[in-house]
Amino acid sequence: MTARTVLVTGANGFIGRNLVPILEARGYVVRRAVRTGATLENDIEVGSIGPATNWEIATAGVDAVIHLAARVHRPNEEHAGELYRSVNAEGTLQLARTAARANVPRFVFLSTILVNGSCTDGKAPFAGKDQFNPRGVYGQSKAAAESGLQRIAADSQMSVSIVRPPLVYGRDAVGNFRFLVKAIRTGIPLPFGLIRNRRSFVSVQNLASFISVVTELETDSNYKTYLVADAEQVSLSDFIRRMGSAMGKSPILVPIPPGLLELAVNATRPGLRDSLLGSLEIDTSAALSIGWRAPFSMDAGLKLALDTSALV
Domain coordinates of the chain in residue numbers?
5-166+202-229+281-292
| Selected catalytic residue, list 28, 84, 138, 226 | 138
pLDDT value of residue 312: 36
Supply the angle between the helices 298-306 and 236-247 in degrees, to the nearest 10.
Answer: 50
H helix or E strand, kind and range, residue 81: helix 80-84
pLDDT value of residue 221: 80
Burial class (CB in 10 A: 0-12, 13-18, 19+), 233: buried
What is the C-alpha separation between 72 and 138, in angstroms, rounded?
A: 7
Give the alpha-carbon dihedral of 231, 237, 240, 246, to 10 degrees: -70
pLDDT value of residue 310: 45
pLDDT value of residue 42: 87
What is the C-alpha separation between 228 and 288, in angstroms, rounded?
A: 9
pLDDT value of residue 311: 40
**R_g over Cα of the chain:** 20
Strand arrangement of the beta sheet that strand 106-110 belongs to: 43-45, 29-34, 5-9, 64-67, 106-110, 159-164, 223-227
Neighbour count for residue 240 (Cβ, 10 Å): 21
| Three-state secondary structure call for residue 254 | coil
Does the annotation count 169 as an active-site position?
no
Question: What are the residues facing 33 on neighbouring strands?
Answer: 9, 44
Question: What are the residues facing 29 on neighbouring strands?
Answer: 5
**pTM value?**
0.94
Task: Report mean pLDDT in 10-residue bins for the chain, 312 residues.
Answer: 86 95 96 86 91 96 97 67 93 98 97 97 96 94 98 96 97 90 95 96 98 89 95 96 96 95 90 91 97 97 83 38
User: Would you identify the CATH topology of the domain 5-166+202-229+281-292?
Assistant: Rossmann fold (3.40.50)
